Copies of this chain bind each other. A is one copy, B any other.
Amino acid sequence: MSQPEKIKVALLGAGNVGSQVARILLEDSDLIRQRIGVPAELIGIAVRDTEAPRQVPLAAALLTDDAEVLIDQADVVIELTGGIEPARTRILRALHAGKPVVSGNKALLAKHGQELQAAANQNGVQLSFEAAVAGAIPILRPLRDSLAGDKITRVLGIMNGTTNFILDQMDTTGAQFNDVLKEAQRLGYAEADPTADIEGYDAASKAAIVASLAFHSEFTIDDVHCEGITSITAHDVQAAKDDGFVIKLLAICELDGDGVNIRVNPTLVPQEHPLASVHDAYNAVFVEAENAGELMFYGPGAGGAPTASAVMGDFVSLARRMVLGGAGVPESNHAALQSTPMAAVVSRYSVGLIVEDKLGVLANIARIFAEHGVSIQTMRQTKFEKDGQFSAALRIVTHQAADSNLRKTMAVVDSLDAVRSIASVIRVEGK
């Protein structure tokens, strides 16, 4: 390909991030021209409804509801619509026409990433998606390039801003989940339908994308064990605090023998751990590699302008490549690792039980844990009276135990007459 005179950009979507990308392409066109070597021209923005009100004023002449025609006229496509279809078909249309694509669509990439990547490789063009994980924080590029000569052993972090905001508020105010969720919705931190965030699906999509890059293998969201935060109560948060912990929703991808365990779950993090001081909607990701050691990346995990910054970084990088010639770097999947089942995953647990206040109950429960190979680190008992009934709240923190052993233990504990309820079972990270 000879050097282009300019690069024509088609933008799909004009929402929170899309409108900011349009603004930057228009406002900073001089700077972008200088960095790429040739001008980048925003030739149009495909939207569902060209008449809908916009957060950022966009020239009516730029708006179109015919995405296909727009894609066919462009040199590069930036897809920021979200959802599986028609995003998937449109991205494939661009890639098959030899046009590089920048996308921030984590749900699509976590489900059909392999298909899209194969289309990109087949056509020798770049598919970039830094904006799909952790907003403005550069995390995919460090995994893909900076650590390309190292062996990553674990990636762990807070990858969803909405749930971090909710858990942080619960920790600060002592309020219940549902009340904080309503407040988060009012403030715009949570969507009207918060399912994808609070059930952990959003973080699970990001974990699948991260694990694929970190371990040079192909993972989808179906490989991710996913638990959300809907069952976390104000009582859990307070009990964690009393024990010196903060509850965070962590995404964890770790090498596990010849496989990779990928999971999203609420986790107790020691108060002195750096992840414990990640507040509001911020994200933070730890990467552990054999030679590099432990690295940490921190920043705004969401928001229009920060995410648009990640999109623009991808765009300028691949546009520079178009000007210089040479194919895009294909994704590496040489390791072809499989995801491992949860049963074998080893971690510490914090277990909350409500039991009858009766002699021998505590000893009996301790025996059941021991019989299943789950070693108890600390056990704390608080007696209380409710409706004339005497009970004890037990809080047990275990040493490292296999998920399957813990599950078997809890099944037996649950069957005891003296156990009124299992209040919570939450994993623990850190020393």
Contact = CB atoms under 8 A, between A and B. Distances in A.
B326 A321 contact: yes
A256 interface: no
Interface string A141-161: 110011111110000000000
A188 to B, nearest CB: 16
Nearest to A325: B326
Contacts of A311: 149
A292 B310 contact: yes
Interface stretch (A50-58, A197-205, A258-266, A312-320): A312-320
Contacts of A63: none
Contact of A295 (B32, B138, B151): B138
A300 interface: yes
Interface in A279-311: 289-300, 303, 305-306, 308-311
Contacts of A291: 20, 24, 136, 305-306, 308-309, 312
A329 interface: yes
Contacts of A146: 130, 138, 141, 310, 313
A26 interface: no
B327 A327 contact: no
30 contacts: A24-B149, A32-B149, A35-B148, A35-B334, A130-B146, A136-B295, A137-B295, A138-B145, A141-B141, A146-B310, A149-B309, A149-B314, A150-B313, A274-B277, A274-B298, A291-B308, A291-B309, A292-B299, A292-B306, A292-B310, A293-B300, A294-B300, A295-B298, A296-B296, A297-B297, A324-B328, A324-B329, A325-B326, A326-B326, A326-B327
